[in-house]
Amino acid sequence: MTEPISLRELDAIGVDRLQGVGRQKRASLEEVQIHSVFELLTHYPRRYIDRSHEAKLADVRPGQEVMVVGDIESVSSRRTRNRKSIVEASLSDDTGTLELVFFNQAWRSKQLAQGLTVALFGKVDLYRSQLQMTNPLVDLVGDRTGRIVAIYPQSGKAGLTTWDIGRWSTEALRRCQSRRIADPIPEEYLREMGLVDRMSAFQTIHQPNSMSEVVDARDRLVLDELLRVQLVLRMRKMRRLDRASGVKHTNQGDLLTQFTEGLPFELTGAQRQTIAEISTDLTSDQPMHRLLQGDVGAGKTLVAMYAMLVAVADSHQGALMAPTEVLAEQHYLNLLELAKDLEVTDPSTLTGSRPLSIKLLTNGVTGSDRNQVLKGMDDGSVDLVIGTHALIQDGVSFSSLSVVVVDEQHRFGVEQRSVLRERGRGDGRWPHLLVMTATPIPRTAAMTVYGDLDVSTLNELPPGRSPIATSWVSQDLERVWEHVHSEVERGRQAYVVCPLIEESDKLDASSAEETRRELAEGVLSELRVGLLHGRLGSLEKQETMESFRDGHLDVLVATTVIEVGIDVPNATTMVILSADRFGIAQLHQLRGRVGRGSHESNCFLVTTEETSDDATARLSALEESTDGFALAERDLELRGEGTIFEQRQSGRNDLKLASLARDRIWVERARDLAAELVDEQGSLDKYGALEDEVLWFVERRDDDAENLLRG
């Protein structure tokens, strides 16, 4: 064969085709998700050592931060009286020696074998008249003498070294050389963007001659990753526009006027703008496909209500699907309050109208109540239904569903949204879709994760919302419980959040059940303390939340089941235990359960152990800012991207090299290029090799490729 080798072909070649990869090494590679030559070549170096910049030991001085390369002369380990480990080693090159000390890294004694060549990066200090590095970064470089040495992610557990990966990558690229790796992006686009071809990019990212070559290679491979994602999103969007027809609404009628004029407050400018965008979508016979993102408490529910009322005003139905029963019930109660006194036209009644009908459908709604709701949805007498996954179960049908709202949509797959959309109508038309998230998304991430949706943003808080003071507490827990007591004495309420339901030997994290018992019998014994977690039955959850809302409980100990949507304006204190075990977005969501009224509110982030650098950065960010969009950017920088499409089955990342935080310019270029390449029917007919690569990219995720592209 003389045709260039495609990524699909490379992905079909097992790593055991490479020299030195026997049964044991293959198993080790599979432990780190490397099964094919493609996965090996995209197991990129995590950093590079420029050996032209290494310092000789004779030249280093105390206070300098330097990179040195040498051989391990000796290594020893010991434990202190309090059982802390200390590993000491001696490093030498042909000019001198340097002492190394590692605290609480006992595994270093096995890693740093005598005679090993290593590269170290760290600060040099003077200790007892001897130059010393404490806890430096360590890379094993073996006998590689190239000027630029690639350092790969290593796995001590799997028994893989950086030079193993480097050697196999070099062999794989050498064996690709005769056919070269196919490049499906037309040359004119590569020239326009100043990018190297794909074969050169793979070669230089693994075997660079200079750091500038690394930059060029990375730019090209970053574009490849982002373009594949953007092409899927663009194809999905264009196919939907080409094939789908929706329900055209008039956006007129007394119902909408009743609703807006009956509100006891003024809409924010952002709410008005978003309602205008949605209203324009709903007057089109192209089905709306819009993301509504807004910070905690920005008023998304009201906007969603308006969208669904447009449907009802035109004699259709609206549905809102939420990921949990607790959240669905909260939405139901909120919408009932917003819909108070609203009436819809009904010629079958004596007065010609009737009250707006809103119903709840979850697995907790059973028996005759459930049958009544299902009957009303089917015959059209139920106008709005709020529910969970119960809305897409067999036996559920609508009379004429024309607006669907999906809350916290990242918890639902493409397939689940499709089921609700397809069951909503019998005439082949698609309901309009509004997906909501209370997790603010940085612009570049929204462009990538939700590239097939139009985006509306609520970035203003309604008037009357109180700011939330946030404190990170690691020692003085008495202060936290004193604050809870004082707030309860003033007639307020508090949440205490724990990451686990039951005690676990594996995780040193607080358990909701154990915490509730300890607090109720200890520091909060005079208060009424309730418990809420996901393993409670539907009725028990409902009764507990009602007790808390009605003020019959002072403190609610809960898991993250209260993360989104819970709205109790009288709750002014949030205590998050083991806060270092949560991410920024989750902490911000939990914090948003307080500050929902006019009272001053506080959030305490409680940690009891020494926290990692990452956790320290997260907790500090929460202390410094209550701006969800600023925190989302910080979260992206700290956490990375993970997966873009629903990925529960295969666990593969869509982005191995690209960073949405760092590569904003390439996100935009990939999006613009995808718009040029994909035709109006949502295909890549002019670019067959690229279309095959996109199909392969989707197929290898163990998803239904056509369904994912259809969206």
Query: What pLDDT digit, counting tens, does each position of 60-103 carry?
Result: 999 888 888 899 999 999 988 777 889 999 999 999 999 999 99
Instruction: Provide the pLDDT confidence category of residue 646 given band limits of 50, 70 and 90.
Output: very low
Residue type, 484: V
Tokens of residue 419, six digits: 């089921």
Indicate the range of 34-43, 152-161, 235-244, 682-691 predicted with least confidence: 152-161
Question: What mean pLDDT is predicted for residues 311-335?
Answer: 90
Strands 85-92 and 97-103: antiparallel
Q: Based on the domain organization, do 508 and 378 belong to the same domain? A: no
Q: Do 204 and 259 share a domain, yes or no?
A: no
Confidence (pLDDT) at 540: 86
How far, in Å, CA of 140 to CA of 527, rounded? 58
Strand-by-strand arrangement of the 384-387 sheet: 358-361, 384-387, 317-321, 401-407, 432-437, 289-294, 454-458
Burial 587-626 (b: 16+ CB within 10 A, else e): bbbbbbbbbbbebebbbbbbbeeebeeebeebbebbeeeb
- Radius of gyration of the chain measured on its C-alpha atoms: 30
Please give the pLDDT value at position 224: 96
> How much is the pLDDT for 87?
93
The pLDDT, as a whole number, for residue 414 is 56
Beta bridge partners of 14: 36
Least trusted range by pLDDT, from 289-293, 297-301, 421-425, 678-682: 421-425
Q: What is residue 72's predicted lDDT score, i.e. its pLDDT?
A: 94
708 Cβ neighbours under 8 A, 6+ residues apart: 232, 236, 414, 645, 698, 701
Domain boundary among 458, 479, 494: 458
Q: What is the mean pLDDT of residues 552-568?
A: 81
CA-CA distance, 322 to 388, in Å (whole number)? 5
Residue for token pair 């490729």: 705
Q: How far apart are CA 101 and CA 685, in angstroms?
A: 61
Give Dmax (Cα) for the chain. 101
Q: Is position 644 within any domain?
A: no
Burial grade of 257 (CB within 10 A; 0-12, 13-18, 19 or more): exposed
Crossing angle for the helix pair 211-243 and 688-699, to the nearest 10 degrees? 90
Q: What is the pLDDT of residue 451?
A: 67
Residues 39 and 183 in one domain: yes
Q: Could you tell me which residue, 255 or 445, shows the higher pLDDT?
A: 255
Place of tokens 């605290």: 103
Q: How many angstroms separate the CA atoms of 459 and 271, rounded? A: 9
- When comparing pLDDT for 610 and 464, which is higher? 610
**Is residue 171 one of the residues assigned to a domain?**
yes
What's the mean pLDDT in 140-146? 62
Looking at the structure, do residues 450 and 554 belong to the same domain, yes or no? no
- CB count in 10 Å sphere of residue 418: 16
Q: What is the pLDDT of residue 501?
A: 57
pTM of the entire structure?
Answer: 0.66
Q: What whole-number distance in Å separates Cα of residue 61 and Cα of residue 70?
A: 17
pLDDT of the residue at 1: 65
The region of weakest confidence among 29-38, 236-245, 604-613, 629-638 is: 629-638
At 47 the pLDDT is 83
* pLDDT at residue 669 is higher than 70: yes
Which of 117, 151, 185 is the last residue in one of the domains? 151
| Contact assessment for residue 356 and residue 343, using Cβ atoms and an 8 Å cutoff | yes
What is the overall mean pLDDT for the chain?
A: 85
Contact 151, 124 (CB under 8 A): no
The Cα 385–Cα 336 span in angstroms is: 11
CB 484 within 8 A of CB 543: no
Of 428, 458, 488, which residue constitutes the final position of a domain?
Answer: 458
- Res. 708: pLDDT tops 60: no
Give the three-state DSSP class for 248: coil
Tell me whether residue 578 is in a domain: yes
pLDDT score for 146: 56
pLDDT in tens, 174-193: 999 999 999 999 999 999 99
Say if residue 485 is in the same domain as residue 378: no
Q: Is residue 378 part of a domain?
A: yes
Quick one: pLDDT at residue 121? 83
Separation CA 176–CA 6 (nearest Å): 10
- Whether residues 436 and 407 fall in one domain: yes
Domain count along the chain:
4
In this prediction, residues 211-228 reach a mean pLDDT of: 94
Cα gap 322→391, rounded to integer Å: 10
**Whether residue 255 has pLDDT greater than 80:** yes
> In the chain, pLDDT over 70 holds for what percent of residues?
87
Question: How confident is the model at residue 377, as a pLDDT?
Answer: 94
What's the pLDDT band for 514 if we cut at 50, 70, 90? confident
β-partners of residue 213 are none
- Alpha-carbon distance 639 to 378, whole Å? 45
Whether residue 448 lies inside any domain: the answer is yes
Cα separation, 445 vs 664, whole angstroms: 9
Residues 42 and 56 in one domain: no
CATH number reported for the structural domain that contains residue 570 in this entry: 3.40.50.300
pLDDT for the residue numbered 422: 66
Rounded Cα–Cα distance for residues 177 and 638 (Å): 38
418 closest CA partner among 650, 193, 699, 704: 704
131 and 207 housed in the same domain: no
Domain hosting 590: range is 468-625
Q: What percent of the chain has pLDDT over 90?
A: 43
Q: Please, which pLDDT band fits residue 381 given cuts at 50, 70 and 90?
A: very high
Residue 67, SS3 per DSSP: strand
Backbone torsions φ then ψ of 630, nearest 5 degrees: -65, -40
**497, 579 Cβ separation under 8 angstroms:** no
Report the C-alpha gap between 299 and 273 in whole angstroms: 13
Instruction: Tell whether the model's pLDDT for residue 450 goes beyond 70.
Output: no
Place 652 in a pLDDT band, splitting at 50, 70 and 90: very low
CB 393 within 8 A of CB 419: no
Partner residues linked to 385 by β-bridges: 319, 359
Identity of the highest mean pLDDT range in 392-396, 493-497, 678-682: 493-497
Which residues have CB under 8 Å from 172's CB, separation 6+?
Answer: 18, 37, 40, 41
Range name among 144-148, 409-413, 487-491 with the lowest pLDDT average: 409-413
Residue with the two structure tokens 């890379």: 139
Same domain assignment for residues 408 and 533: no
Are 295 and 407 in a shared domain?
yes
293 falls within a domain: yes
What pLDDT score was predicted for residue 410? 53
Beta-bridged to residue 99, according to DSSP, are: 90, 132
Give yes or no for residue 522 having a pLDDT over 60: yes
- Alpha-carbon gap, residue 526 to 508, rounded angstroms: 28
Which one has a higher pLDDT value, 560 or 105? 105
**Considering only 9-13, 152-156, 310-314, which range has the smallest mean pLDDT?**
152-156
Residue 651's pLDDT is 34
Per-residue pLDDT at 618 exceeds 70: yes
Q: What are phi and psi of 441, to 5 degrees?
A: -115, 130
Cβ atoms of 556 and 533 within 8 Å: the answer is: no
Q: Are residues 43 and 58 both part of a single domain?
A: no
| Residue 67 placed within a domain | yes
Write the pLDDT tens digit of every residue in 409-449.
Answer: 555 555 566 666 666 677 778 899 998 887 767 666 666 66
The pLDDT, as a whole number, for residue 647 is 40
**Of residues 711 and 194, which shows the higher confidence score?**
194
pLDDT of 252: 75
Q: Which residue has the tokens 């109720």?
A: 520
Q: How far apart are CA 72 and CA 91, in angstroms?
A: 5
Contact 262, 231 (CB under 8 A): no
The secondary structure of 258-316, three-state, reads HHHHCCCCCCCHHHHHHHHHHHHHHCCCCCCEEEEEECCCCCHHHHHHHHHHHHHHCCC
CA nearest 622: which of 235, 296, 274, 300? 296
Q: Picking from 331-345, 440-454, 474-488, which range would have the lowest pLDDT averaged per residue?
A: 440-454
The three-state secondary structure class of 344 is: strand
Q: Specify the pLDDT at position 412.
A: 57
Helices 300-313 and 269-282 meet at what angle, rounded to 10? 30
The predicted pLDDT at position 297 comes to 73
282 C-beta neighbours (distance < 10 Å), count: 25
Proportion of the chain in helix, strand, coil states, percent, rounded to 5 = 40, 20, 40
What letter would DSSP give residue 36? B
- Under a CB-based contact definition with an 8 Å cutoff, are residues 540 and 384 in contact? no
- Residue 31 shares a structural domain with residue 124: no
685: its two tokens: 């007919």
Residue 648 lies in a domain: no
